[in-house]
């Protein structure tokens, strides 16, 4: 496998991805009340729509989309994550939404595929 990097850079599309996620969140959650029965399916639908829309752009990148929806009024929530990314090509973003009933966080991670192969090769050398 070639170690040549993709010409795509996550940072170049960050505004477009943020706008996409914002529009999908609004379409699904604007003025919606929290419903513990429907929320899991709504979130799954949102994340799938984000990934499928990006996939249709045929970008040679690996994308991970993670979402959470919480009912307002519960005690504090702490979330943390770590990632090993190539700052020249890879990236991530998180979009937050809230209405009177819910908080929603959607994170998108973009990883240049060859970066994963390079890490695997480095691990084998050690």
Q: Which of 59, 60, 58, 66 is nearest to 83 (CA)?
A: 66
- The answer to whether position 4 is within a domain reads no
Q: What is the pLDDT of residues 68-89, one digit of tens each?
A: 998 888 766 666 666 677 778 8
What was the pLDDT predicted at 77? 64
Which CATH number goes with the domain that contains 68? Answer: 3.30.1140.40
- The answer to whether position 5 is within a domain reads no
CA distance linking residue 22 with residue 94, whole number of Å: 10
What was the pLDDT predicted at 38? 93
- The answer to whether position 16 is within a domain reads yes
Strand runs (DSSP E) across the chain, as ranges?
62-71, 91-98, 102-111
| Neighbour count for residue 10 (Cβ, 10 Å) | 25
Domain count across the chain:
1
Stretches where the chain sits below pLDDT 50 are 1-2
- The answer to whether position 71 is within a domain reads yes
What was the pLDDT predicted at 1? 44
- Domain extent for 71: 10-125
| Neighbour count for residue 115 (Cβ, 10 Å) | 20
What was the pLDDT predicted at 6? 60
What was the pLDDT predicted at 37? 92
- The answer to whether position 3 is within a domain reads no
């Amino acid at each position: 496998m070639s170690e040549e990097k993709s010409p795509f850079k996550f940072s170049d599309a960050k505004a477009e991805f943020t706008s996409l996620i914002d529009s999908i969140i609004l379409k699904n959650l604007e003025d919606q009340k929290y419903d513990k029965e429907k929320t899991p399916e709504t979130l799954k639908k949102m994340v799938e729509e984000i990934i499928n829309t990006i996939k249709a752009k045929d970008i040679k990148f690996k994308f991970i989309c993670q979402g959470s929806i919480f009912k307002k009024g519960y005690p504090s929530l702490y979330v943390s994550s770590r990632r090993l990314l190539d700052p020249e090509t890879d990236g991530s973003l998180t979009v937050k939404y809230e209405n009177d009933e819910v908080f929603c966080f959607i994170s998108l991670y973009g990883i240049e595929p060859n970066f994963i192969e390079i890490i695997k090769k480095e691990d084998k050398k050690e």
